[in-house]
Amino acid sequence: MKAVILVGGQGTRLRPLTINTPKAMVPVLNRPFLEHVIDNLSRHKAREITLAISHLAQPIKDYFGDGSRFGVKLNYALEKAPLGTAGAVKNSERHLDEIFLALNGDIFTDLDITAMMDLHRRRNAKITIALTPVDNPTIYGLIETNAQGRVMRFLEKPSWSQVTTNMINAGTYILEPDVMAYIPFQTNFSFEHELFPLLLERGVPIYAYPSSAYWLDIGTPEKYFRLNKDLLSGRGGQYGLSSGQEVVVGEKSHIHPTAQITGPVVIDNNCTIGERVRLTGPVVIGHGSVILDDSVITESIIWQAVNIGKRVKIKDSIITNDCHLGDGSIVEEAVLGDHVTVASGYKLKAGSKIWPGTTVG
């Protein structure tokens, strides 16, 4: 089975996390988000995957290479200008000469792709669309089906008066290769607004695959934060930690005996945790980070090479790469971009989003 993953977006809603880091590379439990997606595809026997890339493409190529390290073959299709969801797949067409999967690159799910493929073949569908239930369908695309699961109508971002179902487009599709003929070349063209309605109008058989699998769109810092918490707490389906209470420590990390760690906590390699430090999960500490004496970190995500001074308090926050928090500083409900410095003794205003390279206090 082949697949194409759309990872060319700029991740504007995720800023400041994505100013220097592609959305596909933001760390989830200290592994790039995209690595988790590729893992799930590999579990379902996808062996050749094309990454539709554009914005900040080089870090993705540098990390994943030809895919052999992850048990797959990786191809790359570069967009020189935004092509939309369907247009990006069309740009990858030379790699997609058989039935294939197309996935939005900002969706985390443990969807049973094998079962979805079985349904696609049984229905003789040209396209099968994964559906997932949500509490508020008005911010997504609704899909109405008949009793046999055939798609009858698409409704993008409906008002509450238009809502007839809570099942939304989950951003994973199975397509027959001849569907590509309906997508114009080098044109900004979307699945949701253009291709699917066009095919429905022409009577092309489109079916839905409803699923209650874990599903989350990580488009905002809040949802990215929620994903890490879910996986740490054992709520991420087959991914993440199992009991929600584990403490996982990487190689060559030093934790002082007086430190108090309450799981779930994941500490990557080469970290230093000082005297009387308290970590209360869910917490993730990235590679090479240092937390000095008497600091307290509660329910937070710390990326790589972060230096946290003495007596620092961090709560409900995301601290990205190479930040420096001075002694006695306080950071609560904040998001810090790369290379941010917080002065000693400074209390950051709750809800702050600090852009990379900024010094505060």
The DSSP 8-state label assigned to residue 225 in this structure reads H
What is the phi/psi pair of residue 220, to 5°?
-125, 160
What is the phi/psi pair of residue 9, to 5°?
-70, 155
Q: Which residues of 111-137 are buried (b: 16+ CB within 10 A; e: fewer)?
A: bbbeebbebbeebebbbbbbbbebeeb
Given 45, 90, 126, 157, the catalytic residue: 157
Whole-angstrom distance between the N-terminal and C-terminal Cα of the chain?
53
Output helix, strand, coil percentages for the chain, rounded to the nearest 5. Answer: 25, 30, 45
> Known catalytic residue: 23?
no
How far apart CA 34 and CA 42 sit, in angstroms, is 12
Q: Per DSSP, which regions of 61-150 are E strands?
A: 73-78, 100-104, 107-109, 127-133, 141-145
| The Cα angle at residue 29 between residues 27 and 34, in degrees rounded to 5 | 45
The DSSP 8-state label assigned to residue 222 in this structure reads H
For 16, 128, 138, 167, 227, the CA distances from 141, given in Å and listed in that order, are 27, 15, 8, 9, 21
The residues annotated as belonging to the active site are 157
